[in-house]
Structure 1
Amino acid sequence: MQRKSILSCSSSSSSDFHSWLTQVFGAMGGYYGMAVLVGVACLVMTSEGGATCSGVEGRAGVDGAPGRDGWPGVKGEKGEPAAMAEGPVDAHVLQRLKGEMGMRGSQGTMGPKGYAGDLGPAGLAGLPGAPGPEGKRIISGKSSPHQARSAFSAMRTLSAYPPFERAVTFQTVVVNQDNDFNKNTGYFTCRVPGFYYFSFHSVAKVGMCLRISSEAVNNLGFCDYNTRNSDQVMSGGVVLQLTAGERVWLTSFKDAQPDSVTKDVRDKFIIFNGFLLFSSPV
């Protein structure tokens, strides 16, 4: 913007005015006539007393319109990578950098065994397991024909009262395996060592006492006193372990019965049984 103003001048002598006029002529060129007029005016004012003349200040000009935005510049080229610094490297920087995996080291020595910790609370019961496979059926075996056997059963049917402290004899043998029992003597003789079961039953209208006697153990007695004059049954039994050759028999004995019972001739019945449970190991 060019600011316009009225030319002002100030002079105190003619030599000064002449110098000033020369400068104006050089600056204004073709406007020579106008310069002469201005110079004459200033000279007149100077001759009248050396007064100073000046023009009135002009107004500021109006701003021009803004110019257009420029076009974007061309993208710059990629910069060069930074050079690694020489000298010691920060250890913390190296820890953040991932290097190549090294070789696996050898296993270290086992440390000492630690102390046992406190027992924790019991856990919840687990789920039941799956059922196991079905078992195989086992065929039941049959007894060997050579397996040891021994059994007997004999009956006494005499009406006479069996004599005291004597082996009871029998009239009929129902079972007698390998003739281990002798009905005439009343003795069973062990042939197969093992465990046996012996029992007896009696029916009579009078009191009677019978004991299972054996060479293996103490005698075992049973008594039944009949005062009702009717048939009364008495029974007894025992398990004995016998060795080969030992005998077992049935004995009548007197306990609290009167002597008159020995003279009783009413019907009486006694049965004596025995059999092998299982043989003893060899």
Structure 2
Amino acid sequence: MKLNMKLWFLLLAIAISTEEIQRESSCAERYAGIPGNPGHNGIPGRDGRDGTKGEKGDPGIKLLSTDGRVEEKGNKGTRGERGWPGKFGPTGMPGPVGDKGQKGDQGLQGRKGLKGDIGPVGPKGIKGETGGQGEIGLKGPMGPMGHIGPKGEIGAPGPKGNKGIQGERGWKGDRGDKGNQGGAPILPRSAFSVGLSTKFPPLNIPIKFDKVMYNGLNHYNTVTGVFTCQIAGVYYFTYHITVLAKNVRVALVKNGYRMLHTSDKYQGAEDQASGGIVLELKEGDQIWLEPYGGEMSNGLYADPDDDTVFSGFLLFSTSEIPAPTTLFRD
């Protein structure tokens, strides 16, 4: 059928060409007239798409060659250019909602996210019930001594008692015999004064002053370098030292605690330093003098012309036992 249609179109094209040739030859013998005015636009023709479908044509005739054989198939033509994309069609109606799919497998854990901002403060919770009393804990260390409080107000005087009845005055007694004359009281004594006969004594131990100026009651021990209190009271201690070749740091020590510090920076010649203090001692308290602060701070010096001396003596006793007295006879 396709071959028949092709043959028909070929014959039609030949007939149209022949008619055009005859028309041109007839018009060539005449002169061309004045062109007429252009005609009005015609009414658009009907769209042929609504026409009735034609009848099926007859099958085409097979073209045969002169020798009766079927002609070979012609070469395939070149592919035409791609046409412009067509217009988008209208949006379709949404389809129905599909069935719920099955739950998928749990995925891998994601990375830790950044820390979020602090949220608002929540409402105050309800006060809980009071718990039972816990066990008594261990006693803590003693805290530091507090400040001395303000002086209290003087209390109101108590009620005055009733005055008793005065008794009768007795008779004057006889004059007694004259007693013996009393003696002067014996005051407690304690004193010492000792010096150094060597230079640069050892550090951090009592200095052993072995040059005795006074130690009548032997309250200072020249072997240990320690004074031991025998009479409770208030004492005065003083020291005078010579410094040579090194700096000096000296402390007066009471029962292991440094009570007074003296230092001298060596200036290139013989220096002098001293110190003094008043202390209240109890019976058995110990006092000594010791150098400290490193080897370059031990410049205590003594020779026949330069002295380093340590002294102490009782100012007054604080003992409640009265001092004994010496009686003189007639």
TM-score by length of 1: 0.44
TM-score by length of 2: 0.38
